[in-house]
Amino acid sequence: MDLTGKTVLITGASRGIGAETAKTFAKAGANVALLARSSDEIAQLAGDIGSQALAIPCDVSRFWEVEAAINAAHKEFGSLDIVINNAGVIEPIAHMADADPDAWGQIIDINLKGVFYGMRAALPVMLSAGAGTILTISSGAAHGPVEAWSHYCASKAGVAMLTRCVDNEYGDKGIRAMGLSPGTVATQMQREIKDSGINPVSQLDWDVHIPADWPARALLWMCSQDADEFIGDEISLRDEDIRRRVGLI
């Protein structure tokens, strides 16, 4: 794909899927706005990518920061074509009877409200332009309970519904909204899951996890017309047909 002249904003861009997505979209010619709380990491990544990258320190659990970041990206590059709501956390992993209520709520602030804030800040800009793509990172945890992941499951279920709501309200106004469920990915989050020793996911061998560039490449493909049949829906990278269409197998 050639995304020259297009602007993509990526939350949680300092590592894992977010960082790989930034590299993948930059290689496709896009301007990339990198958002994360880890300012040093995104500054380094932006430096590696070059002049088409902009690092914006941002806490997605604060709407005013997300809104300011989107405005800064739009001002710098002149457009906002794609928003990838990738930022998400899973720690602290805990059973519900032992979970700290404040820590549980902070996960919702980042994983769910942070996605809504990204959508809310981006939609007026995209609607005024008459087009835009909003992508979210979903999970199998959005559709079934996982032991000690009540915060993560609840937040991802909410994100899946937000994606459907965006399509319901703005699909006829040029907004393409889709979710990607990547499966288990070899990232720092997966190391935290393994260290917890709780539930079957933590027992998986490391070599069964897919590399972070796979979901990055899938997200790029989702911006193409070939993925239009999935608008308003969720794509699973566990699906071999999807992997084949993305070019992974």
Give the list of residues 6+ apart from residue 239 with CB closer than 8 angstroms, or none.
none
d(CA 201, CA 190): 9
152 is catalytic: yes
Q: Which residues are CB-contacts of 96 (< 8 A; sequence separation ≥ 6)?
A: 150
Cβ atoms of 238 and 214 within 8 Å: the answer is no
The torsion of the CA quartet 148, 152, 158, 163, rounded to 10 degrees, works out to -140
Determine which one of 77, 152, 214, 221 is catalytic: 152
- What does the alpha-carbon distance between residue 248 and residue 39 come to, in Å, rounded to a whole number? 32
Quote the DSSP letter at residue 210: B
15 DSSP assignment: S
Residues serving a catalytic function are 152
